[in-house]
């Protein structure tokens, strides 16, 4: 992270050095606020697009038939994914992995296209939630998640405490709940399901604060370069994933099923 210069400018304000350039603290802070606003705008637009896609796929029969199929079982009709539906649900994982390895070589337009592709495809997966939970519980859980996310992100932005040490711990916890989730597919334990959902909420709550602070640090490290737009998009993707995962784990805890 960049260090503040001990000298002051003509107005008595501290200045910050970046290589061969020195800027006022006020200029840096204004740029940081603009950068964070850009990150949140990308994130909010991504959530909106995911929601719109989910509603369209749920409500428009032609679109619904592309991704979902109804099969008859001993217990009655069951909703399942078509081949295209499985591609839409799994493709975001591949896009995220590809972007993480190719981020330095990608142009801003490519990064933007990947981001919008991920959030749009996620909307197809979110259609399942519209079938599984009541509209009231979806709306209630969304607003609870939004309030929690806002408070946690604000903490990550304003705290002077270094949260970098949380990263490894949270990543290990994330791996743990993924493994437990796979195990629970076979054991079908309601207690394990509750533990996974509770741990998931806590892990992504921590990641929200951690990622917000990390985005601030990335801005400082890249100040004065031409990669800040890409950093904003990747930062928005991190916060978007934190939000939607916290939302889904909360739904598993407090959502009312159809």
pLDDT tens profile 129-177: 998 899 999 999 999 999 999 999 999 999 999 888 888 889 899 899 9
Question: In Å, how far are 183, 197, 216, 243, 251 from 1, measured between CA atoms?
Answer: 41, 35, 10, 26, 38
Segment 78-88, tens digit of pLDDT: 678 899 999 99
Q: pTM of the full predicted structure?
A: 0.86
Question: In Å, how far are 53, 118, 129, 206, 220 from 68, measured between CA atoms?
Answer: 14, 19, 13, 34, 45
CB neighbourhood size of 232 (10 A): 26
pLDDT (average), residues 193-210: 93
d(CA 225, CA 221): 9
């Amino acid at each position: 992270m960049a260090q503040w210069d001990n000298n002051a400018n003509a107005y008595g304000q501290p200045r910050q050095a970046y290589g061969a350039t020195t800027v006022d603290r006020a200029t840096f802070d204004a740029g940081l606020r603009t950068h964070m606003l850009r990150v949140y705008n990308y994130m909010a637009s991504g959530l909106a697009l995911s929601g719109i896609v989910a509603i369209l796929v749920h409500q428009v029969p032609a679109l619904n038939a592309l991704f979902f199929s109804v099969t008859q079982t001993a217990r009655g009709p069951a909703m399942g994914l078509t081949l295209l539906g499985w591609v839409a649900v799994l493709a975001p994982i591949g896009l995220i992995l590809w972007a993480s390895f190719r981020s330095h070589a990608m142009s801003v337009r490519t990064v933007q296209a990947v981001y919008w592709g991920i959030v749009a495809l996620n909307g197809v997966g979110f259609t399942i939630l519209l079938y599984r939970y009541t509209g009231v519980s979806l709306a209630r859980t969304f607003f609870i998640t939004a309030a929690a996310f806002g408070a946690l992100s604000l903490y990550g932005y304003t705290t002077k405490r270094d949260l970098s040490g949380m990263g490894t711990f949270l990543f290990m916890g994330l791996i743990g709940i993924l493994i437990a989730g796979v195990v629970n597919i076979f054991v079908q334990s309601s207690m394990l399901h509750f533990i996974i959902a509770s741990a998931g909420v806590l892990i992504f709550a921590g990641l929200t604060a951690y990622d917000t602070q990390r985005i601030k640090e990335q801005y400082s490290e890249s100040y004065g370069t031409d990669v800040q737009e890409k950093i904003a998009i990747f930062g928005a993707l991190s916060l978007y994933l934190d939000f939607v995962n916290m939302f889904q784990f909360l739904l598993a805890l407090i959502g009312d099923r159809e």
